[in-house]
Structure 1
Amino acid sequence: MVHIYSYYGGDDIRNHLELEAHVGSVNDLAFSYPNKWLCVVTCGEDKSIKVWNVVTGAKQYCFEGHEAPVYSMCPHHKESIQYIFSIATDGKIKAWLYDNMGSRVDYDAPGHSSTVMSYNADGDRLFSCGTNKEGESYLVEWVETEGAIKRTYHGLGKSSTGVVQFDIIKNRFLAAGDEFMVKFWDMNNDSLLTSTNADGGLLASPCIRFNKEGVLLAVSTSDNSIKILANSFGIELLRTTKKHILLESLLGVF
């Protein structure tokens, strides 16, 4: 089931749509704008990728061809060409245009791993991170036009208990949650740059996510909470936000 909500400001969040998207679990979703229409793209246990109109809930496309459940997908566009990468749990990567002509590419993720793909902020460099059934993890940059690996980043563990998650800091750094830590790389250097355990308490393969500016990092913990890590700019942002909240509270009193 996919729930889509409308946000009207403040605390006003309303349930807009409920979609019976897939048979079995929904494994990933993302928004896209094919033909300038806002859509949500989903993938799931039933080995399919589906595109839904966000306003009406109507199904626009259904892409089939994977032989295993679809683990993740990555909608993107280059100039006027809109497409979706999809990655199955057997490590097969396919790419689809918004038509019914089938997959345009078919190649393998490193180590046949369950993988997530993502572009940098400028949309001109493609990266992926994944973990296979043997616990081996891979963080790589792709030559997307050739389906070939351009660079493999070193420093991930060899016996991950879960799928390693990663994120991109604009156009400069990569980060991944691995071995109870967050690890960082310079995009242009395959050696590990640095790492942090965030004062402990992280999951073995924590989920991580940067804010849009790349100055705050949310990391999941073993006690089902979230830690927020910040650089100097992030600390200043938190201070400013705290001041605004305090001011709004005081104004509310009067």
Structure 2
Amino acid sequence: MDEAGRMRRHDETMTLIKNYLEQHGMSSTVQALDIERGKLPNLATFTSLLLGGNFEDAVTYFCQFQNEVSLASCHILYFIWRQLFSELLSMNNTIPTVDVESERAEVVKYVENQIQRDVALRSMFYPTIMEGQNRLQTLLEQSVNWQHRDCVHSTGFTSLLNEHHCQPPPANNNTDLNASSSRGRFDDGMIHEFGQPTQHSPSLEFTFDSDDANINELFDGLVVPSPFPKEVMNVLNLSHVTGMEFHPQLPLILVCTTSGEIKLFKLNASNYPNGKEFKIWKFKALSQELKDDFVKKERKTAGAVCVAWGSHGNNTNYAVGFCEGLVQTYNYTHDTPTKQHLEIEAHSGPVNDIVFYSSQGELKIVTCGDDKHIKAWNSSDGLVYWKLTHTAPLNSLALHQDGNKVQLFISDVFGSAIKPNIGYNGQLDGIPLLFPSDMNARLELKFSGDGKRLFYCGPGRLVEVDRVSFETRRSYNSVMNPQTKRMDICKNGYIAVGDEHSVKVWQLDNGEDYFTRICINNDRNFPECPMIKFNREGTLLAVVSLSHLRILANNDGKSLLADVDGGLPHSGRFSCFK
């Protein structure tokens, strides 16, 4: 590597160290590092100088990092000097006394806004690193995991400073069985593995070469959880799926995509799915900022991020959240499955998750987003019911309702979980609790079907935690690096994670860590972390690949998918709505 490459690698390393320190709240260490190196700016240092009235030092600090003068930087310097002169005049009684603290706070707000809007300034203060997780810690963990990929039964490593020697794997006594394994024998098929939760040591594998093949006979003589949905019943032609949710009772699945399309598949009928492309319903009702953004970028679409079903009495609604902060809701009936209802400008930035609950005789919609807000909305008129602001962008919602009792957990992008206290009238009551995590990464939260157990999933961990203390109750091993929307729990006691080009399944009440692995090899580029979703009863499982959505079923699921004429749906019978 040449000298320029070494310097670039050195700067990147220092950026990752700063990011690590900032995410762990070590602001004084970050400032000391900035002063010592004098190379990379820190927004907290800059704003603290402004709030403290050290305007000349703030200007010097800002100017030393600029590569070029821009209109935004000129505006920033102008506002700083204007505030300095305003305070000097106030001290000489030339103008009436002003509220110094509030004016300085306004200057900081303006400065931060200019930095966010200007590409050069934003890249200067916010180096491009993996958003939502600690890049340095992730790289270290990936490096260690790779080095110990063959470590099967050692107790593990306790330090990065000492060598850890992996013990050789035990001898495999299933020679004949492994010899009959047929991984790679077919281009199409599904593989099931059963064994201890080791990262790269499959035990027993089976393959079959058809999506709708009956694989029950392959499991004769093995202890397999028979209620688990393991037969592929439908293959839907879909790509770029960002969210999906089964209807609470009916054989319907709601899907959204990166292009903003909404598709509603009726799984026990042969007709095409109902679908909608993204369209703004009431452009004039949007905020001026969002209008300008759509007009300036000549955007006609917005990517969909998440979907959710909600029902109260005889009313069933579903909602779709978009990356531009909009939420659109629909009233569902058999005759009018895509009847438009509400369009809400819910957040500034993407709507990351949506859930429903019932309160005071109607449905409430709860949303969270990158703007650090959690909001509950009346589903009838779209008015805000309650609102909570956090200190970091928000990622995932987990809600369970039992009568008037509502449990809600929210996770932020750094792995902390928040528990708002929702009273019996459905509104916020009291100060929310905050549960810090050592993950520093986006977590996905899920309640068990009865609401008595809480789980979270993130890089390298699938954990059941106590709902009060958030302390670990049980860890499920062999989870590598799943993304959000890759973990789900069903009512009949299974938890599944899309990870390592497969779906890993555990029985919740099985004391041992045996798991089942399902690998679908039909797509040449089956994703590393496939998106998955159970229906409520656990009779159906949806698995997303790059170009297909497969619906797997158990015996009860097959009955649910039976056609009106008594037949079963055939693989590939559905095509994409156009």
TM over 0.5: yes
Question: Counterpart of 1:48?
Answer: 373
Deviations 1:209-231 (A, max 9, x none): 112221111011112x2011122
1:191 and 2:513 equivalent? yes
1:243 and 2:566 equivalent? yes
Cα 1:181/1:105, change in 2 over 3 Å? same
Cα 1:234/1:245, change in 2 over 3 Å? closer
- Of the candidates 491, 498, 506, which is equivalent to residue 177 of structure 1? 498
Question: Counterpart of 1:105?
Answer: 433
1:2 and 2:2 equivalent? no
Conserved? CA contact 2:542–2:550, under 8 Å: yes
Alignment of 1:96-245 (within 5 A): 96-98=420-422, 99=427, 103-109=431-437, 111-130=439-458, 136-157=459-480, 160=481, 162-163=483-484, 165-188=486-509, 189=511, 191-201=513-523, 202-223=526-547, 225-240=548-563, 243=566
How far the C-alpha of 1:242 sits from its partner, in A, is: 6.6
Alpha-carbon distance in structure 1 between the residues aligned to 2:483 and 2:466: 26
Question: Could you say what secondary structure the match of 2:562 adopts?
Answer: helix
User: Going by fraction, where is helix more abundant, 1 or 2?
Assistant: 2
More divergent stretch after superposition (56-65 vs 5-14)? 5-14
Question: Counterpart of 1:88?
Answer: 412
How far the C-alpha of 1:245 sits from its partner, in A, is: 9.2
How far the C-alpha of 1:94 sits from its partner, in A, is: 0.7
Alpha-carbon distance in structure 2 between the residues aligned to 1:211 and 1:74: 16
How far the C-alpha of 1:53 sits from its partner, in A, is: 0.1
User: Going by fraction, where is strand more abundant, 1 or 2?
Assistant: 1
How far the C-alpha of 1:85 sits from its partner, in A, is: 1.0
**Structure 1, unpaired ranges of 5+:** 131-135, 247-254
Alpha-carbon distance in structure 2 between the residues aligned to 1:20 and 1:110: 33
Alpha-carbon distance in structure 2 between the residues aligned to 1:15 and 1:244: 33
Deviations 1:28-85 (A, max 9, x none): 00101234431000000101100000011111111012x2210011223466443421
The CA RMSD over aligned residues, in Å, is 2.4
How far the C-alpha of 1:12 sits from its partner, in A, is: 4.0
Alpha-carbon distance in structure 2 between the residues aligned to 1:222 and 1:49: 31
**Structure 2, unpaired ranges of 5+:** 1-325, 570-578
Conserved? CA contact 1:3–1:17, under 8 Å: yes
Cα 1:142/1:220, change in 2 over 3 Å? same
Alpha-carbon distance in structure 2 between the residues aligned to 1:48 and 1:86: 11
More divergent stretch after superposition (98-107 vs 11-20)? 98-107
Cα 1:27/1:205, change in 2 over 3 Å? same
Question: Counterpart of 1:252?
Answer: none
* TM-score normalised according to structure 1 size: 0.84
Cα 1:170/1:241, change in 2 over 3 Å? farther
Alpha-carbon distance in structure 2 between the residues aligned to 1:60 and 1:237: 37
